[in-house]
Amino acid sequence: MDLSKKTFHWMMTQRICLQETACYTNAVTQEATEEVSLDSPEREPILSDGPSPAITPVTPTAMLTPRMGLGTAEMFERSLDEIEEDDSGDTFDMHIAVSDPEKVGDGMNAYMGYKVTTKTSMTIFSKNETTVRRRFSDFLGLHSKLASRYLHIGYIVPPAPEKSIVGMTKVKVGKEDLSSAEFVEKRRSALERYLMRTVKHPILLKDPDVMMFLESSELPRAVSTQALSGAGILRMVNKAADAVNKMTIKMNESDAWFEEKHQQFENLDLQLRKLHASVECLVCHRKELSVNTASFAKSAAMLGNSEDHTALSRALSQLAEVEEKIDQLHQDQAYADFYLFSELLGDYVRLITAVKGVFDHRMKTWSKWQDTQLLLQKKREAESKLQFANKPDKLQQAQDEIKEEIEELEGKVQQGEKDFELISKTIRKEVSRFEKERVKDFKVVIIKYLESLVQTQQQLIKYWEAFLPEAKAIA
Amino acid sequence: QAKLGSPRAVNVDLQTDATLQVDISDALSERDKVKFTVHTKSTLPNFKQNEFSVVRQHEEFIWLHDSFVENEEYAGYIIPPAPPRPDFDASREKLQKLGEGEGSMTKEEFTKMKQELEAEYLAIFKKTVAMHEVFLCRVAAHPVLRKDLNFHVFLEYNQDLSVRGKNKREKMEDFFKNVVKSADGVLVAGVKDVDDFFEHEKTFLLEYHNRVKDASAKSDRMIRSHKSKSPLSHNLHVLGKLFAIYMDLNQFFLKVSELFEKTRKIEARVAADEDLKLADLLKYYLRESQAAKDLLYRRGRALVDYENANKALDRARAKNKDVLQAETSQQVCCQKFEKISESAKQELIDFKTRRVAAFRKNLVELAELELKHAKGNLQLLQSCLGVLKGDT
């Protein structure tokens, strides 16, 4: 049985269409078949919240970590705020599909290639429809760039799907079984959701790397995403260092909003994880039920065969058929449980981690500012102490030097304060966006899930209604 | 302790007869035993009164059953299978664990779990009562067994029958007897029967019994996995409270959590009904088909004895020694065999009739219950969806 085909067939027949077609403008050709995606169908134009205060353009070059080397610095000549407001009259109208997973190459160097199709009517894109081929590390590379560019200034960058060494190895080695086909489908679906979330962010959408990812036919290979590469190891080391630093920073939170939100996200994280675990448990349990139902169906068929009363024998065979169909129903429901519910929860858990990440970055920004202030203070003390130094000829030179240093530090302190204020403002906006959009996702998804449950019950009723007269016919 | 007051539905279709009606009107479950109140209504002259009740325990049922099996006169009948021993161990253990863990959970959680476990206990209790009752009803419905003296004593004697359970030695004896019997059974089964009816029945029962055994095991497993252990509704409920900060999502989640709690209860009832109508049915016919096989074995044994007696007679005549003895012996064997054959035929025909009727009744009821629950589930889901969609 070709599982990849089977999965798609289920999704098509279930007609789970989460993309409202209302927002397609006439320029876009209507898709004949309905695509599956787990993102919200809501299409509110992204509004900026009120007139923006005058802010001197921020040159992020000072904030770039040494890791980032690929040059797209021209983009930062405009302030990020300006970019957001300049929506050139475009309402958000975009649809990305990830499809056609195809294995390329052999052995341990093999990889899965995916087709990425973008359909849009927005003017910032050069074409209405583009198709490119990408591999998993390309997605990770994109995320890595976006994260290093935007996370530390407070933007919630959607996390990329996780690596899975086990899952991928099976695929590479050519193991053509149920679990590896499921793995590929899981990944394809996750990649699609990832891209959609990324482009829904007004800032990220306009990032040149995002556009290049969606439109260029060739992408430079993102080697630094490999787990065991030099960059990968550096990432791990930095993560550990971050964790230690987090523990030692004690921030005087003057803003109650941040304190409250931080706690809320901690609680949400915990609870979502629990919910995720219980949904996974449900999926597992349904699969077990399916296996046992199939096994009983076979047994009932055998019993029907050996029963020597004709009408009873027929009824037992019918019972076996009903149970077989019910088994299939359980399997389909397990897919729904998984794709509609469990995967979404997993995405959310990862998203909340990204949110907590930006809160941490704010803390770090604050900490840096405070450190610079402390340094300035020390220099000023050193300056005043200089007055009492006993070498008058060297005094002037030392005083000049220290004055220079103090000026520089004063500039840095000012900058640090601005950075802190900026990241605080950004986070407030981002969290508010998150609360409006993401949370609506949940409602939509749960309603779709309940609809799938409704369908299951309706099918169940059909099967038993067909069986009842057979049972009554036993004479 | 648990007490049961009302009569239960019998899951095997039997003809009721005004001359002798037996049921279990009450039952009491104590720590390590169950006391059944056996209630009899009879117009037969053998009994002192027309209506009376006695209290019996499981061991006394077993004693009665064994007395039938050991009675040579009943060799030609399908002996109604003995009811299985009441087994509350697993359920009691769970209740005990719950009691121990009371301190570590909220009052709500504790009450809910307690209700569930008590319901489980009650279900097991009802089943064991039903199975003991079915045994008695089968005996009461049988034209010959209903006249058995031990049966009447069982029904009427209002003192303890002083039937102790088998001790170790007796259990060992039983074990060996069974080993010998199954070895013998294989031998006897190998003998081809001239009678087409019995030959067919032999082949049929052998296969049928094995398949029922398999179906019974698989249905048990399927029904067990119907009982979901996922704390999904609970977690949704807590999540709902957290989402109170986000506009009206709190209400949304609470409604969904309530929905899942209700559907979970319905699923549990589906599992319980499947257990009653399907699993129990198969288990019962597993035991009955074994009893039918035992009958065929006894007949086969009698046939072999008869044939051996014939051969012995031939040899005696040839040697002209002990001929009279051999003749009587052969006559006894012949009579025994013919008597068994005659009643066995009717018994097997009745078995088929009962089986078909029982399956029909249970399969129809199963389908009706499945439909009822599926429709209930559907209604819950649709009304909840209506409310949720209306909100958004």
Predicted-complex ipTM score = 0.85
Whether residue A436 contacts residue A427, with contact meaning beta carbons closer than 8 Å, is answered with: no
* Nearest chain A residue (CA) to B271: A289
Chain A residues touching B384 at Cβ < 8 A: 450
Which residue has better confidence, B62 or A227? B62
Residue A443: per-residue pLDDT = 82
Contact B378 A457 (CB under 8 A): yes
What Å distances lie between residue A181 and A288, A327, B63, B364, CA to CA?
19, 20, 59, 41
Chain A residues touching B352 at Cβ < 8 A: 308-309
* Nearest chain B residue (CA) to A434: B246
Q: Is A315 on the interface with B (CB under 8 A)?
A: yes
Contact A454 B388 (CB under 8 A): no
Share of chain B above pLDDT 70, in %: 87
Task: Name the residue among B219, B242, B392 with its Cβ closest to that of A267.
Answer: B242
Could you please report the per-residue DSSP string of B174-186?
HHHHHHHHHHHHH
Position B60 pLDDT exceeds 90:
yes
A3-14 helix and A310-336 helix, angle to the nearest 10 degrees: 90
Share of chain A above pLDDT 70, in %: 71
Q: Is A55 on the interface with B (CB under 8 A)?
A: no
Which residue has better confidence, A19 or B201? B201
Position A12 pLDDT exceeds 70:
no
Contact A461 B229 (CB under 8 A): no
Contact B218 A460 (CB under 8 A): no
Which residue has better confidence, A288 or A21? A288
Q: How confident is the model at residue A218 (pLDDT cuts 50, 70, 90)?
A: confident
How many whole angstroms separate alpha carbon B214 and alpha carbon B195?
A: 29
Which residue has better confidence, B116 or B311? B311
**How close does chain A come to B56, measured CA to CA in Å?**
36
Share of chain B above pLDDT 90, in %: 48
Which residue has better confidence, A93 or A424? A424
Average confidence (pLDDT) over B17-39: 87
* Nearest chain B residue (CA) to A342: B232
Residue A455: per-residue pLDDT = 93
Q: How confident is the model at residue A34 (pLDDT cuts 50, 70, 90)?
A: very low
Chain A residues touching B378 at Cβ < 8 A: 454, 457-458, 461
Q: Is A250 on the interface with B (CB under 8 A)?
A: no
Compute and round to an integer the Cα radius of gyration of chain A: 29
Average confidence (pLDDT) over A166-170: 70
pLDDT, tens only, B231-246: 556 666 666 666 655 5
Chain A residues touching B377 at Cβ < 8 A: 457
Task: Name the residue among A299, A307, A309 with its Cβ closest to that of B218.
Answer: A299
Q: How confident is the model at residue A306 (pLDDT cuts 50, 70, 90)?
A: very high
Beta bridge partners of B42: B20
pLDDT, tens only, A129-153: 889 999 888 999 999 999 888 888 8
Position B297 pLDDT exceeds 60:
yes
Q: Is A434 on the interface with B (CB under 8 A)?
A: no
Q: How confident is the model at residue A70 (pLDDT cuts 50, 70, 90)?
A: very low
Sheet containing A129-135: order of strands: A94-104, A111-120, A129-135
Residue A230: per-residue pLDDT = 65
Which residue has better confidence, B201 or B1? B201
How many whole angstroms separate alpha carbon A168 and alpha carbon B293?
A: 56
pLDDT, tens only, A172-193: 766 666 677 778 888 888 899 8
Residue A472: per-residue pLDDT = 93
Residue B62, CA atoms < 13 Å, CB-side half-sphere: 11
Position B301 pLDDT exceeds 70:
yes
Contact B363 A474 (CB under 8 A): yes
Q: How confident is the model at residue A284 (pLDDT cuts 50, 70, 90)?
A: confident
Other residues' Cβ atoms within 10 Å of the Cβ of residue B31: 7
Q: Is A130 on the interface with B (CB under 8 A)?
A: no
Position A23 pLDDT exceeds 80:
no
Q: How confident is the model at residue B208 (pLDDT cuts 50, 70, 90)?
A: very high
Q: Is A446 on the interface with B (CB under 8 A)?
A: yes
How many whole angstroms separate alpha carbon B15 and alpha carbon B338?
A: 28
**How close does chain A come to B228, measured CA to CA in Å?**
7
Q: Please choose, from the candidates B136, B154, B145, the residue with its C-alpha nearest in 3D space to the C-alpha of residue B63.
A: B154
How many whole angstroms separate alpha carbon B126 and alpha carbon A469?
A: 29
Position A356 pLDDT exceeds 70:
yes
Q: How confident is the model at residue A21 (pLDDT cuts 50, 70, 90)?
A: very low
Which residue has better confidence, A320 or A74? A320
Contact B359 A446 (CB under 8 A): no
* Nearest chain A residue (CA) to B217: A296
Residue B272: per-residue pLDDT = 85
Task: Name the residue among B242, B243, B385 with its Cβ closest to that of A454.
Answer: B385
How many whole angstroms separate alpha carbon A368 and alpha carbon A362?
A: 10
How many whole angstroms separate alpha carbon A334 and alpha carbon A444?
A: 19
Chain B residues touching A305 at Cβ < 8 A: 211
Q: What's chain B's average pLDDT?
A: 85
Average confidence (pLDDT) over B185-199: 76
Backbone torsions φ then ψ of A57, nearest 5 degrees: -55, 135
* A–B CB contacts, 8 A cutoff, strictly below: 153
**How close does chain B come to A439, measured CA to CA in Å?**
8
Tokens 């019997």 — which residue? B181
For A356, residues 6+ apart whose C-beta sits below 8 A from its C-beta are: A262, A265, A266, A269
How many whole angstroms separate alpha carbon B333 and alpha carbon B362?
A: 42
Position A30 pLDDT exceeds 90:
no
Average confidence (pLDDT) over B251-272: 82
**How close does chain B come to A26, measured CA to CA in Å?**
28
Residue B362: per-residue pLDDT = 94
Tokens 């990305």 — which residue? A96
Contact A465 B378 (CB under 8 A): no
Whether residue B42 contacts residue B20, with contact meaning beta carbons closer than 8 Å, is answered with: yes
Q: Is A278 on the interface with B (CB under 8 A)?
A: yes
Position B283 pLDDT exceeds 80:
yes
Q: Is residue A363 exposed (0-12), middle (13-18) or buried (19+ Cβ within 10 Å)? A: buried
Across A37-41, A186-190, A289-293, least confident range: A37-41
pLDDT, tens only, A420-459: 999 999 999 988 888 877 667 778 888 888 898 899 999 9
Chain B residues touching A465 at Cβ < 8 A: 371
How many whole angstroms separate alpha carbon A310 and alpha carbon A59?
A: 86
Across A255-264, A283-292, B245-254, least confident range: B245-254
Position B125 pLDDT exceeds 60:
yes
Chain A residues touching B236 at Cβ < 8 A: 275
> H helices then E strands: how many in chain B?
10, 4
**How close does chain B come to A212, measured CA to CA in Å?**
36
Position B327 pLDDT exceeds 50:
yes
* Nearest chain A residue (CA) to B259: A450
Q: How confident is the model at residue A231 (pLDDT cuts 50, 70, 90)?
A: low
Contact A292 B218 (CB under 8 A): yes
* Nearest chain A residue (CA) to B236: A275
Residue A471: per-residue pLDDT = 93
Residue A161: per-residue pLDDT = 87
Residue A388: per-residue pLDDT = 72
Interface test with A, best of B210, B263, B364 (most A CBs within 10 A): B364
Q: What's chain A's average pLDDT?
A: 75
Residue B365: per-residue pLDDT = 95
Residue A228: per-residue pLDDT = 58
Residue A336: per-residue pLDDT = 78
Residue A127: per-residue pLDDT = 83
Residue B172: per-residue pLDDT = 80
Which residue has better confidence, A95 or B190? A95
Chain B residues touching A298 at Cβ < 8 A: 218
